[in-house]
Amino acid sequence: MSTEDRRSRRTRRLLRDALVSLALERGYSHVTVEDITERADLGRATFYKHYADKDALLSRVVSDLLEELHERLLPLVPTSSVGFTGKPVLELFRHALEERDVYRVILRGEGDGRALQEFTDARTAAAAQVFRARAEHHGVTPRIDIDVLARAWVGEQIAVMRWWLETNPPQLSPEEVTGMLLDLSLRGRYWANGFDGGPPDRAEEIRPED
Amino acid sequence: MSTEDRRSRRTRRLLRDALVSLALERGYSHVTVEDITERADLGRATFYKHYADKDALLSRVVSDLLEELHERLLPLVPTSSVGFTGKPVLELFRHALEERDVYRVILRGEGDGRALQEFTDARTAAAAQVFRARAEHHGVTPRIDIDVLARAWVGEQIAVMRWWLETNPPQLSPEEVTGMLLDLSLRGRYWANGFDGGPPDRAEEIRPED
DNA sequence: ACCAGTAGTAGACACCATGTCTACTAAACC
DNA sequence: GGTTTAGTAGACATGGTGTCTACTACTGGT
């Protein structure tokens, strides 16, 4: 007796899988409720017993995924140590590889991008929290606003993850992508482009004559 | 005689503005063709004389914007000098501020994210091209794959730009955001978080016991 | 100033997907 | 084994889509 009728769980899983595979094939907006129930081999009326509409189903898929991810990250998030271990990022990429199709649907911004936004916002909030804890723990003052930092970092992750998940077949292991991403993010683009030392001071560069 | 009937130009502009404002209010998917023509004060049939459907209109909005941006960036893109001037980024952010509403619609990922994807891909291709030219010009070997570099960089830009355009009212000037973004991107997150020196070697960190 | 061509319009149309409901059957739970 | 709950087929009103027709009004070229 795990909280729910066996039939319900089966149905929800079928609907979820059908939506994901169809969205990958045709794009979310070109998938109808009938398409979904047909592929899931269920009556159309059954759909509406579980979800108000297509968007509700997608929204549920995202929040389930976020919850699962959260549980996997919990034991890895730096609490006392607060260093740059990179373990959470690695776990994120491993999770993405396991749930590749769902991630692809979300990262493609299907469904008016609300799914992607929800995902991004959750990751950004988590990153900002870690950054704040780290700054306090090491008694260090960030040189750039922490929220901007978090957004940029998550933006990087997601952009690279999107590319990585769409390459067929995936050539890089989760360890390899995560490694590149961390090197790039921590050391910066000046280093990544192959230059040595620090970048030139941009103070006068960024403000031309105008 | 600028290539097109005066009425056509007027109509297209009205449809464009109506779509953008409505998409901002209700979200793209909750906007109907009739909504658009009503706000534009045009007959519904007129819409179909110009565009096949709602998606075609949005797609046109994006490509027009990209073309306009491209023309503004052309004289700024480093050709002979090939340095880290940051001028193109600044110009991008200025353009975004001027066309704030259109950028917001696109960056929100409206319309199944195809608009955002088109925008992202265009910027990524441009960035990759500059990176390649720079590497060659300075005879330097990138430490990270240039396509990954370009994707991450554009991902950062877009994530920060999204946040910046959604803050009401915009508190930072284009010069200020661009400055933060460039500092962060070129120097890296280790520096941005407030630490001095270089980040710890991650070689053993990223590969734990497993 | 005119006129040929093109843009805008109202209204009608068939079509399709949506979301709701009913009366029924089948499965799960205890 | 009996009660509850899930799945189902089919019907329904609704609302947006994309097309078309016959008409009016404006514009650009000469």
User: Which of A20-24, A119-123, B143-147, B166-170 is least confident?
Assistant: B166-170
Tell me how far apart the alpha carbons of residues B185 and B49 are, in angstroms, rounded to a whole number. 46
B75 class by beta-carbon count within 10 Å (0-12 exposed, 13-18 middle, 19+ buried): exposed
- Residue A124, pLDDT > 60, answer yes
User: Which of A15-29, B2-16, B114-128 is least confident?
Assistant: B2-16
- Residue A166, pLDDT > 60, answer yes
Compute the average pLDDT of residues B76-95.
83
For residue A80, the model assigns a pLDDT of: 59
B79 class by beta-carbon count within 10 Å (0-12 exposed, 13-18 middle, 19+ buried): exposed
For residue A76, the model assigns a pLDDT of: 86
Shortest Cα distance, chain A CAs vs residue B2, angstroms: 31
Query: Percent of chain B, pLDDT > 90?
Result: 81
Backbone angles phi, psi at B177, to 5 degrees: -60, -45
For residue B204, the model assigns a pLDDT of: 53
The per-residue pLDDT of chain B, averaged, comes to 92
DSSP secondary structure string for all residues of A82-97:
-----HHHHHHHHHHH
Q: Which pLDDT band holds residue B81 (cuts at 50, 70, 90)? A: low
For residue B209, the model assigns a pLDDT of: 36
Burial A62-74 (b: 16+ CB within 10 A, else e): beebbeebeeebe
Compute the average pLDDT of residues A13-28.
98
Q: What is the pLDDT of residues A51-97, one digit of tens each?
A: 999 999 999 999 999 999 999 999 987 665 667 888 999 999 999 99
Q: Which pLDDT band holds residue B1 (cuts at 50, 70, 90)? A: very low
For residue A208, the model assigns a pLDDT of: 40
For residue B210, the model assigns a pLDDT of: 34
- Which residues, at least 6 apart from A197, have a Cβ–Cβ distance to it below 8 Å? none
Q: Does A53 touch chain B (CB under 8 A)?
A: no
- Residue A1, pLDDT > 70, answer no
Q: Does B208 touch chain A (CB under 8 A)?
A: yes
Q: Which of B53, B54, B62, B47 is nearest to B12 (CA)?
A: B47
A87, A145, A156, A178, best to mutate vs chain B, most B CBs in 10 Å: A156
- Residue B2, pLDDT > 90, answer no
For residue A206, the model assigns a pLDDT of: 59
Residues with CB under 7 A from strand C: A 1, 5-7, 32-34, 44-45, 48, 52-54; B 5, 7-8, 10-11, 41-46, 49-50
Q: Which of residues 20-59 of A touch strand D (CB under 7 A)?
A: 41-46, 49-50
Shortest Cα distance, chain A CAs vs residue B18, angstroms: 18
Compute the average pLDDT of residues B8-34.
97
For residue B206, the model assigns a pLDDT of: 60
